[in-house]
Amino acid sequence: MNNLCVAHRGFSGKAPENTMAAFRMAIAEPYVQWMEIDTQLTIDGIPVVIHDFSLDRTTNGSGKVKDYTWQQLLRLDAGSWKGRAFHGERIPSLDEVLRLSCGRMRLNIELKTSGNMYPGLEYAVIERIASYHMEKDIVLTSFDEGALRRVKEIHPELATGLIIDARPKDLVERLQSLECSFLSIGYSHPDYELVAKLKEAGITTMAWTVDDARRMKRLANISPEILICTNRPDIWKKTFI
């Protein structure tokens, strides 16, 4: 299958992002090969799946994720903002998402961190991945180069990828110095020359976040190997199947 479909935070066009409802909806579609999820740490060291550093946009809580325990986060509603049908959806732990995905779905796990915001995040995430023997089905990505270096120190065989919404001239060299085999890049930046260069260096390209058929087709014309990260797997299906 060309231009593999990556469900961004699950099937987040229809269900609340980064919830079990969104993940189940994505997994139910046989053409979805990958899911992209985000992980942070609770104050008691549990990896949880949520995008924003703050709770305000996607839950009925407020303040920073890192200031709450796992038990406190469990009490929050992470679904009602998307619609009444999703009332009571919770912030999932990484553990729950790995258990659901194991043997069924590959995961792009973004390490949501900056500097020393989450000491121990990489270790906690890798420990959970190893417990499900999912090392071959996962790529760990981040905007934070320090986080990617720490992953390689802990587990050199794990695939890692830089996230970037730009196209610096030394991009391929930067990826090689970080030992990345994956690039997560804003959809407007890839062109034939860049993708060919990345392929030659053994680096997989994923473009984000693409929710309309015209942009999906533009990427497909550049290369059938670009992964397409989308909130709308249903639009991907109409475009490619």
- Rounded to whole angstroms, the Cα distance separating 82 from 93 reads 20
pLDDT attached to residue 234: 98
* Residue found under tokens 């990958």: 34
Instruction: Compute how many other C-beta atoms are within 10 angstroms of the C-beta atom of residue 83.
Output: 11
pLDDT attached to residue 63: 98
User: Which residues participate in catalysis according to the annotation?
Assistant: 8, 51
pTM for the whole thing?
0.98
pLDDT tens string 76-94: 999 999 999 999 999 999 9
pLDDT attached to residue 161: 98
Which residues is 40 bridged to in the sheet? 48
pLDDT attached to residue 1: 75
Report helix, strand or coil for 220.
helix
| Mean per-residue pLDDT pooled into runs of 10, the chain (241 residues) | 95 98 98 98 98 98 98 98 97 98 98 96 98 98 98 98 98 98 98 97 98 98 98 98 94
